[in-house]
Amino acid sequence: MKLNGILSNIPLELNGFSHEEMGDEHIGSSADTPMRPDAFVLTDEEKKKHIEAHFREIMLILGLDLQDDSLKGTPERVAKMYIEEIFSGLNPANKPKIALFENKYQYNQMLVEKNITFYSNCEHHFVPIIGKAHVAYISGGKVIGLSKINRIVQYYAKRPQVQERLTNQIGNELKKILGTEDVAILIDAVHLCVSSRGVKDTASSTVTAFYSGKFEEEATKQEFLKYLS
């Protein structure tokens, strides 16, 4: 299938504003990751071939010599990295398989897993977001393996993102899997679109939070935050 047929009719404006008018504005247009209906018409291998060809063209436009030993393999490496690694969370086939267990310990307090390191990419400039996620839940009868919490965070991080959406996606996914409303997420991240370009502020970070169920109660929320300090 030709790539041109898939990518036709993509709008060049958002909500009536051109990209130039939007500038560097922080915009989140959807609670779900914006995906086209034909997102998976191409196989992963076909996508790699198209990305490789187009990234090679970008490098040539930039004036780089692709005959150089250091550069000639870059288009293929980038294509493989996009599909298999940093944007692998776009494909539902890569969603982690989650097994639940009975809460046989009858542990009815909050469980907190903090400092989950993740790497994502800003969907506005395709540069890294580097952060830590802190996750808590109170069992409603089921528990989840600790490593699976990390895998859920990584799955939603490995796609073009805005931090607010990432926070909500992790929180809502855990609510659905665990069958409980009692979930809290806090994410603290550095956006390289802020620190390495534009305003070039290297000191700031962005914090977002998701509180549901008992975590909306001030005492429970403060207990969670106390564990993070």
19-53, pLDDT tens digit by residue? 555 555 556 567 899 999 999 999 999 999 999 99
Mean pLDDT of the chain: 90
Q: How would DSSP label each residue in 75-89? A: HHHHHHHIIIIITGG
Tell me how many degrees the CA angle 98-103-105 measures, rounded to the nearest 5. 135
Residue 124 annotated as catalytic: yes
Domains and CATH numbers, the chain: 3-86 (1.10.286.10), 100-228 (3.30.1130.10)
Residue 25 annotated as catalytic: no
Among 6, 5, 25, smallest CA distance to 15 is for 25
- Dihedral angle of Cα 83, 89, 92, 97, to the nearest 10 degrees: 120
Residue 191 annotated as catalytic: yes
Residue 20 annotated as catalytic: no
Q: Average of pLDDT values for 86-99?
A: 96
User: What is the pLDDT at residue 110?
Assistant: 96
User: Is the pLDDT at 215 greater than 60, yes or no?
Assistant: yes
Q: Which of 52, 163, 169, 173 is catalytic?
A: 163
Residue 122 annotated as catalytic: yes
Q: Which of 123, 134, 154, 169 is catalytic?
A: 123
User: Is the pLDDT at 135 greater than 80, yes or no?
Assistant: yes
Q: Average of pLDDT values for 97-105?
A: 92
Q: Which of 26, 54, 125, 164 is catalytic?
A: 125
User: What is the pLDDT at residue 3?
Assistant: 55
Tell me how many degrees the CA angle 176-35-4 measures, rounded to the nearest 5. 160
User: What is the pLDDT at residue 1?
Assistant: 44
Q: Which of 134, 161, 173, 191 is catalytic?
A: 191
- Residues of the chain with pLDDT > 90, as a percent, come to 79
User: Is the pLDDT at 189 greater than 50, yes or no?
Assistant: yes
